[in-house]
Structure 1
Amino acid sequence: MSEASNAETAYTGPLVLREFDGGVLRLTLNNAPANALSIALMEELKGHLDAAGQDRDVRVVILAAAGKLFSAGHDLKELTLHRADEDRGRSFFEKTMKLCSELMQTIVHLPQPVIAEIDGLATAAGCQLVASCDLAICTDTSTFCTPGVNIGLFCSTPMVALSRNVHRKQAMEMLLTGETIGASDARDYGLVNRIVPKQYLTQAVNLYAQSILSKSSLTLKIGKEAFYRQSEMSLSDAYDYTVQVMVENMLARDAEEGIAAFIGKRKPEWTGE
């Protein structure tokens, strides 16, 4: 949970920095020191992601953060200001949580893979952001928690992403105790893929990005969508669905090219079709 200043004060620059190079879009949370997920930051980040989803030149998205914290979650001071509203903040709370949920679903539904690059603390909705990404690489000093229970606010929306990526018992442990876990536990729980020393973090993330760039963008789009859809189905329904996905994928030009290249022992030339 954030202890950052409310969003109506101080910083007026971009809350999300955008860099694009060779098919890789890097979006950096720029709301130091806590990178709190204020309304303004979430709207800005979602705007970048929505645009990326329509841009065929974007092949991979990296989500990073400036400063010592990845993200301390929602801005509690921003939320608290609205307790003085006539409805005690209900409308603003609904707006905040709905926008956050839409942001997380945007990441999941984005056709491109999204890699979280974490150096520092990711807590509450910040932890939810990590869990929502397709891959997550962190430094060995990074930490994670869902501490809402400590202040009387159960992390119910972070729970959605957490419970879909972390083993059930470990997810409940994080949610019920609010305790912070280190990078090693986060990897064991399934929250992150890999731990690297701080000086190699960006290099490691870029290696993942380059590996993804070498694949067919269409194939990755098909696969990412199918992965999340089938995971919510029964075993039988999942197989029925993925059979059709495989058939349609086989008919794609990139699959025809990839198989021909494999048989011919040459490098495939992808067209994204």
Structure 2
Amino acid sequence: MSAPGTAVSPSPDTLVLLDIDAGIATLTLNRPQARNALSREMMLTLQARLDAVAADPEVKVVVLAAAGPVFCAGHDLKELRAARGHDHHLATFRQCARLMTTIVKLRQPVIAKVHAMATAAGCQLVASCDLAVAAETASFATPGVNIGLFCSTPGVAVSRAVPAKLAMEMLLTGDAIDAATAAAAGLVNRVVPAAELDAAVAGLAARIAARSPRVLTLGKETFYRQREMDLEDAYAYTAEVMALNMGLHDAGEGIDAFLGKRPPSWQGR
């Protein structure tokens, strides 16, 4: 949940910072005075940044980071209370759902770089990313039940990332889990000392960015689609995708490079 508001929020141009280097786009939530709470303006800005990197052919990997002492405290509760009314609230939660779906459907892999607490929609944000690396100082919670606002929409992403029993415990109690528990449950891929977080994320992002961007996009899309199918349909679908993949230039180049014991030269096609 969000913290009480303090200073005036940054302008829309600085709410989410964007830095692109060596094919890696880093998006940094930059509303630290409000614990990076997801106001409607914050969500719109992050959505615009994601749409921009999706259209940038030079970007191969996206890293989602945050400034300040909290990764993301969820929805902006002051904003929700100030703008009372079903229609406004529904629009806000639908906007959030669109944002999370965009991350899953983004053509590039998205890595969450979690240095601190991620709660409610902030935990949802982490769970929606393809990969997540957390510092030992990070923690995760869906504490809406504590204030009478059950974390139903965060539960969509969290329940798809961790076992059902743990998801229900988090949702029903609002209790936080530490980074080690999150890693054991599959919410994050690995946990590192806080001082090593930057290097760990940079190394992971660079390894992924070194692969064929066309194959990364195909692979991410295929992974999420086959997860929703039964076993036979999943195998039928992925057989078609593998045959399509074999026809790509980069597959031929990759196999020839492997057989020839040389580095591949990806063309992204």
TM-score range, shorter chain: over 0.9
Give the equivalent residue in structure 2 for 1:20: 20
User: One-letter code of the match for 2:8?
Assistant: A
Can you list the C-alpha shifts for 1:24-58, whole angstroms capped at 9, x where unaligned?
A: 10000001131000000100001010111111100
Superposed CA RMSD: 1.0
Deviation at 1:225, TM superposition (A): 0.3
Question: Where in structure 2 are the equivalents of 1:98-247 lying within 5 Å?
Answer: 98-247=94-243
CA distance in 2 between counterparts of 1:49 and 1:155 reads 24
Q: Percent identity?
A: 55
How many residues in Structure 1 have an aligned counterpart in Structure 2? Answer: 266
Question: Where in structure 2 are the equivalents of 1:34-53 lying within 5 Å?
Answer: 34-53=35-54
Does the 8 Å CA contact 1:25/1:58 hold for their aligned counterparts?
A: yes
CA distance in 2 between counterparts of 1:253 and 1:142 reads 42
Q: 3-state DSSP class of the match of 1:204?
A: helix
CA distance in 2 between counterparts of 1:169 and 1:259 reads 43
User: One-letter code of the match for 1:153?
Assistant: L
Can you list the C-alpha shifts for 1:104-159, whole angstroms capped at 9, x where unaligned?
A: 00000001010000011100000000000011001101110001111111111111
Q: 3-state DSSP class of the match of 2:56?
A: coil
Does the 8 Å CA contact 1:104/1:132 hold for their aligned counterparts?
A: yes
> Structure 1: which 5+ residue stretches go unaligned?
84-88
TM-score (normalised: structure 2)? 0.97
Can you list the C-alpha shifts for 1:180-211, whole angstroms capped at 9, x where unaligned?
A: 11001000111001111111111100000110
> Structure 2: which 5+ residue stretches go unaligned?
none
Give the equivalent residue in structure 2 for 1:60: 61
Does the 8 Å CA contact 2:143/2:151 hold for their aligned counterparts?
A: yes
CA distance in 2 between counterparts of 1:82 and 1:222 reads 41
Does the 8 Å CA contact 1:5/1:78 hold for their aligned counterparts?
A: no
Give the equivalent residue in structure 1 for 2:86: 90
Deviation at 1:261, TM superposition (A): 0.6
Q: Does 1:2 align with 2:2?
A: yes
CA distance in 1 between counterparts of 2:46 and 2:37 reads 12
Give the equivalent residue in structure 2 for 1:72: 73
Give the equivalent residue in structure 2 for 1:86: none
TM-score (normalised: structure 1)? 0.95
CA distance in 1 between counterparts of 2:100 and 2:4 reads 21
CA distance in 2 between counterparts of 1:157 and 1:241 reads 29
Does the 8 Å CA contact 1:257/1:268 hold for their aligned counterparts?
A: yes
Does the 8 Å CA contact 1:4/1:36 hold for their aligned counterparts?
A: no
